[in-house]
Amino acid sequence: MRVRAIRGATHLQADSSEEMSSAVVELLSDLFTLNKIATEDLISIHFTATQDLVSDFPAKAARSLGLGLIPLMCSTEIDVVGALPRVVRVMVHAYSERKHEEIVHVYRRGAEVLRKDLAQ
């Protein structure tokens, strides 16, 4: 089994705890399902959030999925002029039998514009 890094992002309509939870749970659920990742396959998850998201931590939403034993880290995305606002990005490290080209990177709620080459 190999270690894979799986990317994703979601765009929030507003800076609120409810929107953060909804968007992050949807993103991670889709990412795990599409890549057939079980909780025991996870190594760690790193989130970044744009500087305009201050109402809650993405990791708090992840813990609601039963990921309390998985190392989770949040940091601030660099503030690039003209960048899409209210975005949470994720890098999931997990064990997987999939080849690089079989990994499905997940972009939701308008974040598809960030990586048109990877988005479904």
* Helix or strand run (H / E) with residue 63: helix 58-63
- Cβ neighbours, 10 Å, residue 64: 12
- Cβ neighbours, 10 Å, residue 35: 20
Q: φ and ψ at 36, to 5 degrees?
A: 55, 50
- Residue 84's CATH number: 3.30.1330.40
Domain that holds residue 98: 2-114
Query: Alpha-carbon distance 49 to 76, whole Å?
Result: 5
Q: Is residue 119 part of a domain?
A: no
Beta strands of the chain (E only): which ranges? 2-11, 42-49, 72-76, 87-96, 106-108
Query: Alpha-carbon distance 106 to 30, whole Å?
Result: 7
Q: How many domains does the chain have?
A: 1
Q: Is residue 120 part of a domain?
A: no
- The pLDDT, as a whole number, for residue 116 is 61
**16-44 per-position pLDDT tens digit:** 999 999 999 999 999 999 999 999 999 99
Biggest CA–CA distance in the chain, Å, is 40
pTM exceeds 0.85, yes or no: yes
The number of CA neighbours under 13 Å toward the Cβ of 37 is 29
Residue 117 pLDDT class (50, 70, 90 cuts): low
